[in-house]
Amino acid sequence: MGKIKSTFQRYEKKYLLDENKYHKFLEKIEDKMKFDEYGKVTICNIYFDTEDSRLIRYSLDKPVYKEKLRMRSYNIPNSKSTVFVELKKKYDGVVYKRRENMLISEAENYLYRGEYPSFESQVLHEIDWFINYYKTIRPSMYISYERTAMYGVEDSEIRITFDENILWRDIALDLKKGSWGNPIINKNEYLMEVKIAGGMPFWLCDALNSLEIYPRSFSKYGIAYKMQQGYIDMVNTEESYEREIFAC
């Protein structure tokens, strides 16, 4: 299926930035991080859940262990595109991601109609176990966003991503239908994710602390579900959040 990285293990911290802090933060880290060559990319996802939304409801309780299944494309796909089927787990603060790339037609036949792909792999076996365990897995939510990514100059394993124009919908659950839906954050806001294999470097810790940028819990699917259920209307940086302890 091609030499594409299929397993990830890392810590992920999320931060919600307004326009001002976004630009100031970029100035702080300009000598340490570089934007990757892909530029801004539209990432499209279909999240899968049980009929009673068991996975997302459990995840919102902030358990020690949680998991999710999604189909992802980089840019809006067509009928001949390749997509990723991803199983993402989080245990005690560590994120584990397992993914398999396949043609979108094969992924849709597998996830929507239960037709097993034409190949086998360890990752696919794990995904299949997940589907069989939950039994009523079905497409639940479409979420897309525009992402720019950076990597460390001295350590390329340090990744920082910025997501904007985050949209969700619970109809037309087909990646090929394009990027449209209800906004989760305002136009002048950015969801930043810091992805590291181990401890956070001092220069990054210093940049965040000096600008009073604090980590917070932020699940795109979780917020979309809350909006779908009418629990919240919009997420923005002007609200007061429950902050996590930030230890460098």
pLDDT at 72: 98
Distance CA 219, CA 12 (A): 12
pLDDT reported for residue 3: 46
Q: Pairing between strand 159-169 and 189-196?
A: antiparallel
Euclidean distance between CA atoms 183 and 222, whole angstroms: 14
The DSSP secondary-structure symbol of 185 reads S
With 60 as the cut, is the pLDDT of residue 189 above it? Answer: yes
With 70 as the cut, is the pLDDT of residue 247 above it? no
Label residue 233 by pLDDT band (50, 70, 90).
Answer: confident
DSSP-derived pairing of the beta strands 65-74 and 94-103: unpaired
Q: How far is the first Cα of the chain from the last one, in angstroms, to the nearest whole number? A: 39
What pLDDT score was predicted for residue 4? 63
The residues near 206 (Cβ < 8 Å, ≥ 6 apart) are none
CA-wise closest residue to 228 among 85, 47, 84, 88: 47
Beta-sheet pairing, 41-49 with 138-152 = antiparallel
Say what the pLDDT of residue 145 is.
98
| 3-state per-residue secondary structure call for 188-224 | CEEEEEEEECCCCCHHHHHHHHHCCCCCCCCCHHHHH
Local confidence band at 163 (pLDDT 50, 70, 90 cut-offs): very high
How confident is the model over 180-189, as a mean pLDDT?
96
126-135 mean pLDDT: 96
The amino acid sitting at 40 is K
Give the pLDDT confidence of 82-98 residue by residue, as tens digits.
999 999 999 998 999 99
Q: Which residues contact 89 (CB under 8 A, 6 or more apart)?
A: 65, 66, 67, 95, 96, 97, 98
Beta strands in the chain (DSSP E): 7-18, 33-35, 41-49, 65-74, 82-91, 94-103, 138-152, 159-169, 182-183, 189-196
Can you give the pTM of this predicted structure?
Answer: 0.91
Tokens 């906004």, located at residue: 183
CA distance 109 to 132: 15
Domain 7-228 fold is mRNA Triphosphatase Cet1; Chain A (3.20.100)
